[in-house]
Amino acid sequence: MDKITLGVYKSFKNSGNRNHREKTKKQWCHYFLDLEDQSFHTEWISKFKALILKRNVFKKRKFICPECGLIFEGLVRKDSDSVECPECED
């Protein structure tokens, strides 16, 4: 299964629970896009996995195609990465 990591953040596992327990700990949460059905998911992960995934977080960036001038959004890992134009790629 192909996943694109969109975010790794800490949140309370029992958020939304009215009876807030003092011992409630924050846990790492992985927010990702499943490429198979283009759906978003979240999963609870370990601190160790969070460290690995944090290096692979994708960011949404806007691109302008120099060929056709189309403005489109793409997910990239680094600012220096580029995404192919959906109109011009064969």
CB of 43 to Zn ion, least distance (A): 35
Which of the ranges 9-17, 22-30, 39-47, 59-67 carries the binding residues for Zn ion, by CB under 5 A?
59-67
51 binds Zn ion (CB under 5 A): no
68 binds Zn ion (CB under 5 A): yes
The Cα 29–Cα 80 span in angstroms is 27
Residue type, 35: L
Q: Which of 57, 65, 75, 76 binds Zn ion (CB under 5 A)?
A: 65
Cβ burial, residue 26 (10 Å; 0-12/13-18/19+) = exposed
